[in-house]
């Protein structure tokens, strides 16, 4: 499999006062045999990047089947510019929309992992408002952490930690996946409230398949079912993996992921 070469998409800051963000993108063009079929775009999770095992598994599949595939890093992640601590949901949404509009051709299947599933649903809403729903062929959501800054984070924090975030502007949450803690900022929490989806109907404007581990301590499987209930207007299926964790990156999980993409494609 040939490695894709990174390119850059430039995104202006929300306030137009900070320097433009340079978003790293890796694009695998479709082979002639795959040009009429939907492409795939990867949207990663919180503090993850486009070199994750799941993104690379999709890239291998795309290369083998001549499918177009795009993966990218949000600002402050991976190969993109910026500091992670400065990021917000709205900023990362703008990054994703810029990549969709500049680096994809024809309808796309969005594959969103954890936070990336929330970003994917926000992208779907923004495209619908702009009259661009024809860009969407489907969505595969892995452990969808929709509204996570509020429901899965703020609501679970102790009063002492909430006070620290409000006082100091940041709290460093220990990570179960490595030695580097996650900076949880006041800006992340407060700006995230502008993008909450649960509590009213969520419209993807395309078929949705959810993959959810039942041993996921970050995104409980009940949270995924709540999202299903809110996706009342779209065809939705969900696969619950009884022994699956949050990452769903074992070989058998990757097989399920590719099968979900192929089912929609």
Can you tell me whether residue 21 is helix, strand or coil? strand
Give domain status of residue 81, yes or no. yes
pLDDT exceeds 70 at position 26: yes
pLDDT in tens, 127-152: 999 999 999 999 999 999 999 999 99
Give domain status of residue 187, yes or no. no
Query: What is the spatial distance between Cα 239 and Cα 50, in angstroms, rounded to a whole number?
Result: 24
Give domain status of residue 63, yes or no. yes
pLDDT exceeds 90 at position 106: yes
Give domain status of residue 179, yes or no. no
6 or 165, greater pLDDT:
165
| Rounded (10°) angle between helices 115-129 and 89-103 | 60
Give domain status of residue 241, yes or no. yes
Give domain status of residue 1, yes or no. no
Could you tell me which of 201, 202, 165 has the C-alpha nearest to residue 183?
165
Query: What is the spatial distance between Cα 148 and Cα 171, in angstroms, rounded to a whole number?
Result: 16
- Residue 2: its pLDDT value, please? 80
CATH number at residue 17: 3.40.50.1820
15 or 133, greater pLDDT:
133
Cβ contacts of 119-124, under 8 Å, gap ≥ 24: 119/43, 119/89, 119/92, 119/93, 120/43, 120/96, 121/146, 121/197, 121/202, 121/204, 122/89, 122/93, 122/96, 122/195, 122/197, 123/43, 123/93, 123/96, 123/97, 124/203, 124/204, 124/205, 124/206
Q: Domain count of the chain?
A: 1
Adjacent-strand bridge partners of 8: 24
Give domain status of residue 168, yes or no. no
- Residue 179: its pLDDT value, please? 80
| Positions marked active-site | 114, 216, 246
pLDDT band at 1 (very low <50, low <70, confident <90, very high): low
pTM (whole model) above 0.75: yes
Q: Check: CB of residue 226 under 8 Å from CB of residue 256.
A: no
pLDDT in tens, 172-217: 998 877 788 889 999 999 999 999 999 999 999 999 999 999 999 9
Q: Check: CB of residue 131 under 8 Å from CB of residue 158.
A: no
Give domain status of residue 233, yes or no. yes
pLDDT in tens, 52-87: 999 999 999 999 999 999 999 999 999 999 999 999
Query: Average pLDDT, stretch 155-160?
Result: 97
- Residue 205: its pLDDT value, please? 95
- Token output for 45: 């999770």
Range of the domain at 205: 6-156+201-264
β-bridge pairing 108-113 and 69-72: unpaired
């Amino acid at each position: 499999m040939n490695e894709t070469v990174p390119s850059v998409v430039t995104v202006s800051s929300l306030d137009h006062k900070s320097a433009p963000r340079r978003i790293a993108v890796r694009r695998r063009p479709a082979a002639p045999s795959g040009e009429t079929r939907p492409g795939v775009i990867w949207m990663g999770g919180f503090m993850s990047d486009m070199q994750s095992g799941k993104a690379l598994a999709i890239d291998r599949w795309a290369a083998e089947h001549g499918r177009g595939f795009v993966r990218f890093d949000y600002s402050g992640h991976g190969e993109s510019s910026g500091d992670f601590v400065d990021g917000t949901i709205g900023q990362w949404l703008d990054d994703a929309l810029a990549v969709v509009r500049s680096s994809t051709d024809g309808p796309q299947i969005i594959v969103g992992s954890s936070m990336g599933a929330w970003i994917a649903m926000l992208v779907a809403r923004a495209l619908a408002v702009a009259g661009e729903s024809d860009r969407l062929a489907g969505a595969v959501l892995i452990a969808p952490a929709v509204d996570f800054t509020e429901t899965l984070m703020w609501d679970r924090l102790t009063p002492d930690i909430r006070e620290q975030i409000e006082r100091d502007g940041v709290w460093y949450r220990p990570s179960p996946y490595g030695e580097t803690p996650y900076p949880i900022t006041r800006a992340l929490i407060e700006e995230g409230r502008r993008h909450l989806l649960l509590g009213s109907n969520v419209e993807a404007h395309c078929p949705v398949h959810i993959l959810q581990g039942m041993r996921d301590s970050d995104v409980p499987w009940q949270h995924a079912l709540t999202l299903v209930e809110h996706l009342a207007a779209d065809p939705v299926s969900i696969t619950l993996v009884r022994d699956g964790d949050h990452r769903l990156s074992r070989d058998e999980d990757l097989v399920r992921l590719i099968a979900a993409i192929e089912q929609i494609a």
